[in-house]
Amino acid sequence: MTRIFLFLATNMAVIALATIVLKVLGIEDALARSGSGINLTGLLIFSAVFGMAGSFVSLAMSKWLALRSTGARVIKQPANSTEAWLVDTVKRQAEQAGIGMPDVAVYDAPEMNAFATGMKRNDALVAVSTGLLTAMTADEVEAVLGHEVAHVANGDMVTMGLLQGVLNTFVIFFARIIGMVVDQVVFRNERGGGMGYFLVVMVAQVALGLLASIIAAWFSRQREFRADQGGAELAGRDKMISALRRLSQTYGHSSLPDSVEAFGISGKGTAGLKRLMMTHPPLEERIAALASGRA
């Protein structure tokens, strides 16, 4: 399952590193000079290179990061009938969805959860928690696996990665435009590139980054509805609804590390302004959408 928070830490780190590198090399000063000295085309190119780099690095590392941070064990040779069933079910669903066979993994966690990640549709990872295998029926686990396979088949990891890259680009670009204007108008630095410019850029990146996260989270919520529908098509609508209802028993409780928490099918529900940052719609909305055929 693609989620914005998997990319967020790496993206913000790359953006911060880009700011420091551009400053040290003097490129910031050149781009921030007043009058004809500002090169908007050059600034946009630099922004795109660094903005997309953060997203690309996050996407490329997603499988490794997920396995390492959760301690998930990839099933290379099934050790029991449950593992054999997991591999066979994912294989069948992947064939139905027209994608390559993902790696199947199990990680130790008490809550019911599962996630999928990976840079390519034909080289993905689907992992389930031990809590999910214990608490859910076989039909419900099948539906959860279908949900994750649907994420892979829909190309959600790549889509969200590209979206984050575009958002990063505009964060870097407009933060520097804001910095240049404030530096000249407020700090009266006609040459541009002063300390005021640098500080304003850093603050603007944080503010614009928050806005970018809200936009990405909204797209993520829409893709959850699509994955629910995909799970219903692969496993059956009743099974998918039953699985979502079962998730309510531990919904919002996750032992996943922060870097992959938003991957999980059991996202944290909330209300008010915090809802803007939700990567998953509330369970009741997802169930209602499936029941009405809107998902």
pLDDT tens, the chain, 295 aa long: 333 444 455 555 555 655 665 566 555 555 555 443 456 677 878 888 888 888 888 888 989 999 999 999 999 999 999 999 999 999 999 999 999 999 999 999 988 999 999 988 999 999 999 999 999 999 999 999 999 999 999 999 888 888 988 898 989 888 988 888 888 777 776 665 677 888 899 999 999 999 999 999 999 999 999 999 999 999 999 999 999 999 887 665 566 665 565 556 665 545 556 778 888 898 999 999 999 876 6
- Domains of the chain, by residue range, sit at 1-60+138-295
Candidates 118, 161, 168, 162; CA nearest to 14 is 168
Count of alpha carbons within 13 Å of 176, Cβ hemisphere only?
Answer: 31
Choosing from 148, 224, 284, 285, which is the catalytic residue? 148
Tokens at 127, concatenated: 């992992």
Count of alpha carbons within 13 Å of 94, Cβ hemisphere only?
Answer: 20
Rounded Cα–Cα distance for residues 8 and 193 (Å): 27
Concerning whether 148 is annotated as a catalytic residue, the answer is yes
- Sign of dihedral through CA atoms 156, 261, 287, 215? negative
